[in-house]
Amino acid sequence: DNVPNECLKCLNKDWLRALLNILNSVWRNESVPQKWAQIKLKLIHKKGSLTDPNNYRGISILNGITKIFTGILYNRLLIWVEERKIIPNEQMGFRKGMGCRDCVFSLASAINLQLRHKRAKVFGIFVDFARAFDSVNHELLWKKLYSLGIGGKFLRVLINLYGAANFIISEGNNFSDSIPVTEGVLQGDILSPLLFSVFIYEIADHFAINNAPGISLTPNKELVCLLYADDLVVLSSSWLDAQRKLNLLFDYCEKNCLKVNTDKTFIVPFRKGGKLGKINQFVYCNKTITVVNKFTYLGVPLSSSGKFREASKHFVSKCASGKSAVLKILRNCKSDTWDTKCKLFDSLAESLLLYASEVWGPGYTDLLERGQLSFFKSLLHLPFNTPSSYVRSGTGRIHVKFRIFKRMIGWWNKLLLMTNEQIPKLCYNKLFQFIDNKNIPYNWCAFMSQYLAMIGAQDVWDNQDPESISRNYNRLLETFKNSLISNDIEAVTDSSFNVYYRNISALGKMEPYFGFTVHMNELRIVSQLRLASKKTPSLFLNGKKYLFSSSDPCQLCKSGEIDTLDHFLIYCPTLETFREKYLACYLLHQNTIVNLLAIDSEMKLNNIFMFVSNCLKLRRIINE
């Protein structure tokens, strides 16, 4: 309709009243205008042959007023189905207060709980429905809605909307003829995911009524499957159980006109360790299902061990890929504020490194910290053997463990506020029950308890009370942060990597010079000088690396003095002209590297940089 959403949001009272009258008229007459039901479809090529329609992703554009109308229908239907608990707790997609994290936590917890038993296995069947949303049979959907008690005007309006629905394919200024929507729910519409959830609402019961066992969470509840919209995973304890559930799934799909894409459906045999051994093939509709040792579920890689080391490596790798893009942005925009660089990394970490890390990250914080260290070492051109405590202390960063702990506190609070019918809460209760059981490969509760005990907050864990968490929230975070900072301070003071850094470091606070508005190269050189290795010092400037030595004589002055940074900065006679020009005022009373590298002004930073850059040029010329 070419009406921007912003225009609809800014309507005054008179126009809102007019819009309300239009919506009420459509509702009363049970007749949706033809234009309201028209969808513009833009096809985006994914990969492969341009002539194959399957290689395109359709982006649907609906009228704004249509979205308002279906939004009203959505709100009414949502209240109705939630009050009657029609959608099972196993379905966590597009539900208020739930998301991918709930599914990943529930699945990982259920698997690990089952693996506590001797020689236990869990066969996870990760099902890919072919065109799930696009293949919903309309007649079957209307029958299901009616059988659930959703009839009358609401159902008639819905049938009228879908009866009038059509789409045109847009390519530049060209449009195809109108094509009727004969199956599937409408794309780009808030109501569609809810309709799909209602369409497959009985899938969990289908397994239960056919006596298909699941993983026991309580005496009265077994977890057979989990859903996030159309992402289905079915859990089985043996080959026979898994094959039977594949057969039951086939029966369900046949009755509901759904198809499984067997090429994208996989089975992961979760186990504590060792080889799987020989098992028979898994078959669905006369097609073999592939068995794999890992599968990426809702963005999180799951390995057959039930642990998350592979997931951690995956996210560190993603962060490394994103790092290159962020560093390129920083080069192009020529940002000269340190705060901007930190905020960009924080955004990178939140989206790539720490996705759902409150669930899978507690046991792998040191591995994940590599993502942060790699970014700041690359940014400052620091050698990769620079100790992690030096990098964090020098830049004022906190170990990534703090971010994960903060996320875990929020997730823990949410878990405790859930009802005892919700799957994540049932899994949490079971993990809590077996917190001391060492046979569970990965117990989230054990990590949460350990973190709190580490900062003397065992009482908060023992209370298991959301109010206690909220009341102590700031104290917990501050104490945990201080604990991490203390660990870094201790590591710096005990380290032999650098003999002077402990005497010039702000120890736990960001160095003041990072607040100066200076060129990035100046921050790099000063950071490299302050954090340099005693044994193999080096400087990196303008794409060139300059090596110094703790054993070889200086090649500039031929005095026989060792080519250390100390000699380079303070004593080398060949560099005396530059030293007099840039550093003399800082070396009047104490000719020490500690005194020189204690940066207290922007001018001092600039002068040190000018000295170093000029001396490195001379060094390069002489050595060449």
Let me know whether 538 and 603 are in one domain.
yes
As for how many domains the chain has, the answer is 3
Q: Are residues 491 and 533 in the same domain?
A: no
Q: Tell me the C-alpha distance between 292 and 117, whole Å.
A: 22
Claim to verify: residue 167 and residue 240 sit in the same structural domain: yes
Q: Are 413 and 470 in contact (CB under 8 A)?
A: yes
The tokens for 355 are 């996705």
What one-character-per-residue DSSP string does 290-342 give? EE-SEEEETTEEEETTS--HHHHHHHHHHHHHHHHHHHHHHHHHT---HHHHH
Q: Judge if 518 and 557 occupy the same domain.
A: yes
Phi, psi dihedrals of residue 538, rounded to the nearest 5°: -155, 160
Pairing relationship of beta strands 174-175 and 287-291 according to DSSP bridges: unpaired
> Are 528 and 409 contained in the same domain?
no
Q: Is the separation of the CB atoms in 509 and 396 below 8 Å? A: yes
Residue type for position 245? K
Q: Which residues in 250-275 are b (16+ Cβ under 10 Å) and which e?
A: bebbeebebebebeebbbbbbbbeee
Q: Are residues 258 and 330 in the same domain?
A: no
**Looking at 303, 321, 349, which one is the last position of a domain?**
303
**Would you state the pLDDT for residue 52?**
84
Query: Dihedral angle at the C-alpha atoms of 538, 540, 543, 548, nearest 10 degrees?
Result: -30
- Indicate the residue among 510, 540, 571 that finishes a domain: 510
Quick one: 46 and 142 in the same domain?
Answer: yes
Residues 110 and 208 in one domain: yes
Q: How far is CA 418 from the centre of its chain?
A: 23
User: Using CA atoms, how far apart are residues 427 and 433, in angstroms rounded to an integer?
Assistant: 10
Inter-CA distances, 576 with 561, 611, 615, Å: 15, 10, 10
25 and 134 part of one domain: yes
- Summarised one tens digit per residue, pLDDT across range 101-136 is 999 999 999 999 999 999 999 999 999 999 999 999
Neighbour tally for 10: CB within 10 Å? 9
Specify whether 419 is located in the same domain as 562.
no
All residue ranges of the chain with pLDDT < 70 are 1
Domain of 492 in residue numbering reads as 307-510
Residue whose entry in the numeric block shows the structure tokens 């789409």: 167
What is the reported pLDDT for 472? 97
Same domain membership, residue 555 and residue 539: yes
CA 243 to chain centre: 33
Last residue of a domain, one of 255, 288, 303: 303
Cα–Cα distance measured from residue 144 to residue 151, given in angstroms and rounded to the nearest whole number: 10
Query: Could you read off the pLDDT of 523-537 as tens digits, one per residue?
Result: 999 999 999 999 999
Q: How many CB atoms lie within 10 A of CB 382?
A: 22
pLDDT of residue 91: 98
Q: How would you write 516-539 as a 3-class SS string?
A: CCCCHHHHHHHHHHHCCCCCCCEE
Task: Classify residue 549 by burial, with Cβ atoms within 10 Å: 0-12, 13-18, 19+.
Answer: middle
pLDDT recorded at residue 514: 93
Answer yes or no: are the C-beta atoms of 223 and 92 closer than 8 Å.
Answer: no
